[in-house]
Amino acid sequence: MSNNNELKQDIRTEQDIELMVNSFYDKVNQDALLSYVFNDFSKVDWDTHLPKMYRFWNTLIFGAQSYKGNPFAMHIPLPVEAKHFERWIALFDKNMDELFAGEVAEETKLRAKSIAHVFQSKLAYLKN
């Protein structure tokens, strides 16, 4: 837990989700291990990816149903293993704790972790 939790608020609005997503991918871009996958391997178009991730998290957190897609399929070709998922989760949690505190924030960290674990085990199954 970080300090000043009493000053932080829970995730409540779409603007909160945009802030969470933007600052999470700022961290990803500063992380050599993950930035390689997004920027060098996948050459992600951030102008497309970030709004897609707003829709993804709005759908999960607020039931917006604005995200349509098959997230797992996008990860099959990626050069990722356990250490990438561990880093992804660590940055996701750190980012959340820096910005928000509350039930929705905690639930969102759990959802992210659980999806990460599903992706990781499906990938391990496909690649072995």
Show contacts with ligand HEM in window 105-124 (CB under 6 A).
Answer: 112, 115-116, 119
Which residue number, 5 or 114, has a Cβ lying nearer to ligand HEM?
114
**Of 46, 102, 109, which Cα lies nearest the Cα of 38?**
46
Helix (H, G, I), strand (E, B) or coil at 42: coil
The nearer residue to ligand HEM, 7 or 73, going by C-beta atoms, is 73
Residue 25 near ligand HEM by CB under 6 A: no
Contacts of 39 (CB under 8 A, 6+ apart): 29
Q: Which residues bind ligand HEM (CB under 6 A)?
A: 34, 37-38, 42, 44, 49, 52, 56, 69, 71, 74-75, 78, 80, 84-85, 88, 112, 115-116, 119
